[in-house]
Structure 1
């Protein structure tokens, strides 16, 4: 699923501060987000912006202690609070590695909000519904899809019915419209795994 990556800043950051698992996950999320963008008919320029935002969405995890990031059991409440900081760190690191201008500030805002939930229960700012930027909502769904269809350090098995799980999240963690517009895309992706 990994496309050719042309962003030199991203490659340099990944080479020094990112695990292979997170590198692959970020690429998967960016590629899934691009396919989702096709389904909801985003224009080419928007898709290019979305790709970059999705690629950088988890770079802040490079600042999370490895004992928390790679813990094989459930995180404690304190550890979970540390983990939730990765969205803010991702925003900060993105602004650090790119030319800081109005466009990069907006992209950083999208990256910050990729764990906001449709119902307002997400983080870091607990925004909800259409107050969550469109690209953040797309990345949220792509992120969840990749996370639940791949083995993880804390879950070395695949979830048996990932679309059923996503249906349970519909209208809560994820926006129903975007999920439904991409439902058959997810079915196709699952069939190819």
Structure 2
């Protein structure tokens, strides 16, 4: 499976496990919408996207633009209205972190919707578990530890607890 499919599946499983009060059809929509989280990356030049080493500040700013580009692409697409609503918001805010260190809007705490935090957790976990030109695929344990240690930004403590609980009980 691909990072996109893995992110979608893990999003669905985590949303069901965390019981955020979402209806089942809403969980399914969010999981489907999670597939579009990085769609804006198609406009990021390959020499930056697949660079084997560390990005320069300028290159990192270009990569960060994928969130706004993806949001705009989705809003101008012919996706059905409900899917478009979730997909656009996920594309725009899946790199926001509760301490305000994320992008593009530097949202803080509850300014970030709960379900977007779950998509973001699924995204960083599946990215860490995937081999990339700039890093190896990490083991489940190493990926979880990186996230718990804040290596992918700050997430709500209660979500990290549930995330770790879920992955301890399940294979993913």
Instruction: Please give the range of the TM-score, normalised by the shorter of the 2 chains.
Output: 0.7 to 0.9
The structural deviation recorded for 1:107 is 3.9
Q: Tell me if 1:144 matches 2:117.
A: no
With normalisation by structure 2, the TM-score equals 0.87
Could you tell me how far apart the structure 1 residues matched to 2:81 and 2:12 are? 24
The structural deviation recorded for 1:119 is 0.6
Could you tell me how far apart the structure 2 residues matched to 1:93 and 1:47 are? 23
Could you tell me how far apart the structure 2 residues matched to 1:106 and 1:150 are? 25
Kindly indicate whether structure 1 or structure 2 has the higher relative contact order, using CA contacts under 8 Å at least 6 residues apart.
2
Match of 1:80 among 60, 73, 96: 60
Give the aligned partner of residue 49 of structure 1.
29
The structural deviation recorded for 1:74 is 0.4
Give the aligned partner of residue 37 of structure 1.
15
Could you tell me how far apart the structure 1 residues matched to 2:145 and 2:82 are? 39
Give the aligned partner of residue 159 of structure 2.
178
SS in 2 for 1:116: coil
Q: Is residue 110–residue 133 contact of structure 1 (8 Å, CA) maintained in 2?
A: no
Could you tell me how far apart the structure 1 residues matched to 2:78 and 2:30 are? 15
Give the aligned partner of residue 28 of structure 1.
6
Alpha-carbon RMSD: 2.2
The structural deviation recorded for 1:84 is 0.4
The structural deviation recorded for 1:111 is 2.3
SS in 2 for 1:147: helix
Q: Is residue 63–residue 86 contact of structure 1 (8 Å, CA) maintained in 2?
A: yes
Runs of 4+ in 1 over 3 A off after TM superposition: 99-103
Unaligned runs of 5+ in 2: none
Aligned residue pair count: 168
With normalisation by structure 1, the TM-score equals 0.78
